[in-house]
Amino acid sequence: MFHENFSDDVYRYILDSSFKVFKWSTEVTNKMSSYRGKSDLLIGSFLGFGLAGCLFYLHNRIVRQSASEDLQDSTPKPKVPYPESSSEIQVDLHLQQSQIGTPHYGLQDPQFDGCIYFDYNATTPIYREVYEAMMPFLTKCFGNPSSSHIFGKPCKTALLKARRYVAALINAQSAAENAEEIVFTSCGSESDNRAIDIALIYYYNNIKPNLNDLEKNSLPTVITSAVEHPAVLCYLRALQMQGKIKLEVIGVNEDGFVNLAELSSKLSRTTALVTIMHSNNEVGTIQPIRAVGHSIASFNQREKAGVLFHSDAAQSVGKVPIDVQGLGVDLLTIVGHKFGAPKGIAALFIKKGVKASPMLVGGGQEGGLRAGTLFLMI
Ligand SMILES: Cc1ncc(COP(=O)(O)O)c(C=O)c1O
């Protein structure tokens, strides 16, 4: 890898110089040995080897420097620049909304001639710009982002940029800092399941201790809608069957909208979580998330409660503008393969201040919330 990236001129120069020193030291050694005898032969050899050693050291330094510069340069430079400051983030967000969507080569494969792909809710082809941004991480930028040496550093930098990029896309408050509100996961189902777990543990640690005795005797309640993705609904039903939660499922009208009045009437101080999807994956209804968020915030303030709000935005992020601060959500699911990323890449937004428990325990990656060396295609 190094040789490929080594400038031809530097390489030729080193070979040329090595050859000259070798020739010169041989001549000096020959002359000395013929004129003065064996001790001079020894001195001549030392001189020759010493100079060759110096050259070898210099050669190594140049190679290492070149490799390091090469890795620095290999950090992907997407067409949409990564945000570096809060003002840039605004511009970047605007650029991103308008530039998403150039289909990648998959759609041009001859086996699909005459076909039109309409199933973008199931998954999308990888966008061309995503593919280009990922390439360095499939080839020369292979380091572990947790490593502090030159192979890890560019990966760590790229990871931070990716995290800030995702945070800016949903207008997370931490986008201008280290975007620690974004935790990368492997899929939408993982984000949904873990969001529910986080809310339940939060309830036991932060809400239940402040309840009265009667309230303490009830199970934590989770309120959801009848049209959620199975990653939410089936997981909640499993928790209900295990006797871990009380589940309230709100119906929808003929257009697929949840009934806000019904939802508000179900809120109580033992409600741990309300989880309502942003866009529906079957019929496309966009739920009134802002109004739900407002209703929960008013309830929390009025009742001194701590109900958390999660929204599964798998079908929305990258397609319609999402502003987590405006919507009033505490947790939000983001799924990369629904808007041009490969499968296996998703994220969970966890609002600052929501004390989350680890989803995977191990090496402390993702701010200690989800261990495991990250798939850098993120
Ligand atoms: C609304 C919604 N939530 C969650 C998911 C689950 O995402 P994944 O298949 O990446 O686990 C999907 C996938 O279709 C979805 O449409």
How many Å lie between the centroid of ligand 1 and the Cα of residue 191? 9
pLDDT averaged over the chain? 82
335 lines ligand 1 (CB under 6 A): yes
**What's phi and psi for 246, nearest 5 deg?**
-100, 130
Report percent pLDDT > 70 for the chain.
72
How many Å lie between the centroid of ligand 1 and the Cα of residue 371? 22
Cα–Cα nearest to 292, from 271, 305, 309, 304: 309
Cα–Cα nearest to 175, from 324, 8, 284, 311: 324
How many Å lie between the centroid of ligand 1 and the Cα of residue 316? 11
What CA–CA distance (Å, rounded) separates 255 from 252?
Answer: 8
Structure tokens at 378: 């993120």
| Cβ neighbour number for residue 112 with a 10 Å cutoff | 11
* Ligand 1 atom at shortest distance from the alpha carbon of 281: 16
What CA–CA distance (Å, rounded) separates 195 from 273?
Answer: 9
Query: DSSP of 172-203, one letter per residue?
Result: -GGGGTT-TTEEEES-HHHHHHHHHHHHHHHI
What is residue 79's predicted lDDT score, i.e. its pLDDT? 43
pLDDT tens, 247-257?
999 999 999 99
**346, containing H or E segment:** strand 346-350
324 lines ligand 1 (CB under 6 A): no
336 lines ligand 1 (CB under 6 A): no
189 lines ligand 1 (CB under 6 A): yes
Query: DSSP of 257-317, one letter per residue?
Result: -B-HHHHHHH--TTEEEEE--SB-TTT--B--HHHHHHHHHHHHHHHT---EEEEE-TTTT
Cα–Cα nearest to 197, from 33, 334, 356, 375: 356
Structure tokens at 363: 């090496």
What CA–CA distance (Å, rounded) separates 375 from 378?
Answer: 7
How many Å lie between the centroid of ligand 1 and the Cα of residue 26? 72
How many Å lie between the centroid of ligand 1 and the Cα of residue 226? 16
Confidence check: pLDDT of 56 > 80: no
How many Å lie between the centroid of ligand 1 and the Cα of residue 374? 20
Domain boundaries, the chain: 2-74, 86-159, 178-368
> Is 230 within 8 Å of 241 (Cβ atoms)?
no
What is residue 110's predicted lDDT score, i.e. its pLDDT? 80
Structure tokens at 85: 């400051």
What is residue 211's predicted lDDT score, i.e. its pLDDT? 96
Residue nearest to atom 7 of ligand 1 (CA): 188
Q: Which residue has the higher pLDDT, 276 or 51?
A: 276
What is residue 30's predicted lDDT score, i.e. its pLDDT? 61
Q: Which fold, 178-368? A: Aspartate Aminotransferase; domain 2 (3.40.640)
When mean pLDDT is compared across 19-23, 63-67, 119-123, 156-160, the lowest value belongs to 63-67
332 lines ligand 1 (CB under 6 A): no
Confidence check: pLDDT of 236 > 80: yes
What CA–CA distance (Å, rounded) separates 284 from 213?
Answer: 43
Q: Which residue has the higher pLDDT, 11 or 40?
A: 40
Bridge partners for 310 per DSSP: 275, 331
Tokens 């990369």 -> residue: 336
Confidence check: pLDDT of 47 > 70: no
Report percent pLDDT > 90 for the chain.
63
Ligand 1 probe mutation, 121, 281, 287, most atoms within 8 A of CB: 281
> 3-state DSSP call for residue 248?
strand
Instruction: Categorize the per-residue pLDDT at 33 as very low, low, confident or very high, splitting at 50, 70 and 90.
Output: low
Instruction: Categorize the per-residue pLDDT at 57 as very low, low, confident or very high, splitting at 50, 70 and 90.
Output: low
What is residue 129's predicted lDDT score, i.e. its pLDDT? 86
How many Å lie between the centroid of ligand 1 and the Cα of residue 189? 6
What CA–CA distance (Å, rounded) separates 29 from 39?
Answer: 11
C-alpha distances out from residue 352 to 138, 182, 203, 313, 332, Å: 33, 10, 16, 19, 12
Residue nearest to atom 14 of ligand 1 (CA): 122
pLDDT tens, 346-366?
999 999 999 999 999 999 999
